[in-house]
Chain A
Amino acid sequence: MARYRPLRALLALGVLCLVLGLAMGLEGGLEPGVDGGLALGLKLSWCPPALAEQPSSVNPTAQSVKEQDLLKELHKVQGRGSIPDTKSYVIQQPAGRDWRQFHEVTLRWIGGITILGMLALLLVFYLFRGMVRIESGRSGRTLVRFNGFERFVHWMTAMCFLTLALTGLNITFGKELLLPYMGPQVFTEWSQWAKYAHNYASFPFTLGVVLIFLLWIAWNFPTPTDFRWLREGGGIIGHEHPPARRFNAGQKVIYWVVVLVGGTMAASGYILMFPFYETDISQMQTAQMVHAIAGVIFVAIMLAHIYIGTIGMEGAFEAMGNGRVDVNWAREHHSLWLERQIAKGRVEEPPTPEGSPAPAE
């Protein structure tokens, strides 16, 4: 047994040389067929070829990305990260500055001018024109203008609108107008609740906008009567009363504002409420800008609507209050509508002097 040992050791060494030589030969790009032992011998006596092939000086920035170039070309710096939050792969987006400028400066000006401007306009109008009276006085006869369901939809939407408007304005103007008086703790508490109210009131509001759209679409297409109404200033600027159907041109404008601007508010609002589902950060910023600008315009227009429905016109509030309007009010503001309602026999007879209707014979 003992005499075979050197032979075995030699054999093992040969195999080792072959394997090593083959491996190095492959690495060095040599043909695998070359004698392993020879290759190994040659390799060991030379310096490693990988090092020899390297250039003597290296310029590692020759192709490297430069921050300034990326910002100039793409206006942001984005790469690949190793965490699931893909938003975090954007490491620089200076566009946030533009959004900040919009939110802190531009929006305040737009909002301030639109809303205060409308209030000033209404005040001046009220001082000069006063309440638009029913010129022929009340007749004492009434007819139904809005049924229970219509009034329910109106007031549901109106309540939500007021909630949304106040809580929405708080986000933009609250820290200037309320924070100094409330103090940080109270203001945060209120703003936290305002945020939730804003989010959840949006659902009945959106339902209200959809119902308003469906409920009154039939009466809100523009007609030639509307152009005459608009030409004559709707009778509110002068003392003439141009004819109108169920809704005059002014009311049709309000209808379409509610449907279109309300729809825009809902759409942009839901994007903000479900952040980063189908949107990236710049689209979120755009959604906020659309939501804010449409919001202040919506508030300003609704101020005019509230004005004319309350202190601006005698006999208008009851249309949405108990749903019935005076015949003389209807004659002055919606003459064509009244004619059709009379023809359909929908006008209530005046109460008899005794206060009870005469019994039928």
Chain B
Amino acid sequence: MARMKFLCDADRCIECNACVTACKNEHEVPWGINRRRVVTINDGKPGERSVSMACMHCTDAPCAAVCPVSCFYTTADGVVLHSKDLCIGCGYCFYACPFGAPQYPRVGNFGSRGKMDKCTFCAGGPETDLSKAEYEKYGSNRLAEGKLPLCAEMCSTKSLLAGDGEIIAQIFKERVIKRGYSSGAWGWQTAYRETVAT
């Protein structure tokens, strides 16, 4: 089975935020929650780079490790998902996550954050695939339809890659060899304990 990963090629990202918009629209993500966002490093300076970041679906995910109610699980595709029925909104996953992926519907005073929401790699949740309940809680399940995450599909410069980790690493590697430079496979070392050798 393929091990799903994200890879953002920052040398191609033009900070258009189409991935963010695509994600919000596809999953009807509520106001204030951003499953994906684009951040520009050294903004306005020579050599600035923009990176589109969401849940990286880590190997041995820290969020799953610290969750006091063990509401996370990893699918056969290596996608890290969680159950909103079990989440108590304690906020610990946000403290442990290296990528700031977990989102909460409210600010969180008095522990009233609400159920955590994050990128599902367009793979829904524990409910029956493509059911109404699944859509309402987690958004659409494109993986069950045989499609890849919409953010990467929509990416105009194909900066954001999503899919089988080995295939996207190969695409990235070929690009880097051809063009001769790279600012790195952002987040890979932290998320997957390996990087793409270029």
Which A residues contact B (CB, under 8 angstroms)?
Answer: 59-68, 70-71, 77-83, 85, 87-97, 99-100, 103-104, 170-172, 174-175, 179, 184-185, 187-188, 191-192, 195-196, 198-200, 273-276, 281, 284-285, 288
- A99-B96, A275-B108 are contacts. A92–B69 as well, Cβ < 8 Å? no
Q: How far is the CA of A179 from the CA of B98 in the complex (A)?
A: 27
Q: How far is the CB of B116 from chain A (nearest CB, A)?
A: 13
A60 in contact with B11 (CB, 8 Å): yes
> Does A172 lie within 8 Å of B68, measured CB to CB?
yes
Give the Cβ gap from A276 to chain B, nearest Cβ, in Å: 8
Contacting B95 at CB < 8 Å: which of A79, A273, A281? A281
Could you list 8 examples of A-B contacts with CB < 8 Å? A65-B49, A68-B189, A79-B39, A91-B99, A94-B98, A195-B90, A273-B110, A288-B92
Given A96-B96, A273-B110, is A175 in contact with B47 using a C-beta cutoff of 8 Å?
no
Contacts of B10 in A (CB 8 A): 67
Whether the pair A66, B184 counts as a contact (CB closer than 8 A) is yes
Which residue on A lies nearest to B68, using beta carbons?
A171
Which of A62, A100, A103, A187 meets B69, CB within 8 Å? A187
In chain B between 73 and 102, which residues have their CB closer than 8 angstroms to a CB of chain A?
A: 83, 85-92, 94-100
A80 to B135, alpha carbons, bound, how many Å? 31
Bound Cα distance A179, B97 (Å): 23
| Residues on the A chain within 8 Å of B4, using CB | none
B96 & A83 in contact (Cβ 8 Å cutoff): no
Residue B145 at the chain A interface, CB threshold 8 Å: no
Main secondary structure of the interface of B (DSSP, over half): loop
Q: Given contacts A83-B34, A195-B111, are A89 and B39 in contact (CB under 8 A)?
A: yes
List of B residues within 8 angstroms of A273 by Cβ: 109-111
Question: Nearest Cβ in chain A — how far from B29, in angstroms?
Answer: 12
B95–A285 CB distance below 8 A: yes
Given contacts A79-B51, A200-B110, 4 further A-B pairs with CB under 8 A are: A65-B42, A67-B184, A79-B40, A85-B37
Inter-subunit contact A82/B88 (CB<8 Å): no
CA distance A78 to B71 in the complex (A): 29
Q: Is B14 part of the binding interface, using a Cβ–Cβ cutoff of 8 Å?
A: no
- B70 close to A81 (CB less than 8 A): no
Q: How far is it, in angstroms, between the C-alpha of A92 and the C-alpha of B10 when the chains are bound? A: 14
Residues in chain A near residue B99, CB distance under 8 A: 91-92
- Cβ-defined contact, A94 with B110, below 8 A: no
B38 interface hit (Cβ, 8 Å)? yes
- Flag if B62 contacts A96 (CB, 8 Å): yes
Residue from the list B11, B39, B68 in contact with A64, Cβ < 8 A: B11
Please state if A96 and B97 are interface contacts (CB–CB under 8 Å).
yes
Bound-state CA distance A95–B85 (Å) is 29
Question: Is residue B194 within 8 Å, beta carbon to beta carbon, of the partner chain?
Answer: no
Cα(A174)–Cα(B46), bound, Å: 51
For A70, the closest partner residue in chain B by CB is B41
Cα A344 to Cα B88 with chains together (Å): 57
Would you give the shortest CB distance from B161 to chain A, in whole angstroms?
A: 16
Determine whether B66 belongs to the interface, using a CB cutoff of 8 Å to chain A: yes
Contacts of B41 in A (CB 8 A): 65, 70, 77-80
Contact between B88 and A195, CB atoms less than 8 A apart: yes
| Complex: A285 Cα to B95 Cα, angstroms | 6
Smallest CB separation, B109 vs chain A (Å):
5
A191 neighbours in B (Cβ, 8 Å): 68-69, 88
Given contacts A70-B41, A79-B41, A87-B100, contact A275 B91 (CB under 8 A): yes
B68 touches A90 (CB 8 A): no
Q: Across the two chains, which residue of chain B brings its CB closest to A275?
A: B108
A100 in contact with B62 given A94-B98, A172-B68, A179-B70 (CB within 8 Å): yes
Interface residues of B in 23-54 (CB under 8 A from A): 32, 34, 37-43, 45-51, 53
Q: Chain A CB within 10 Å — which of B50, B70, B95 has the most?
A: B95
Do A83 and B43 touch across chains, with their CB atoms under 8 A apart?
Answer: no
In this complex, which of B87, B97, B190 has the most chain A Cβ atoms within 10 angstroms of its Cβ? B190
A192 in complex: contacting residue of B53, B88, B100, CB < 8 Å: B88
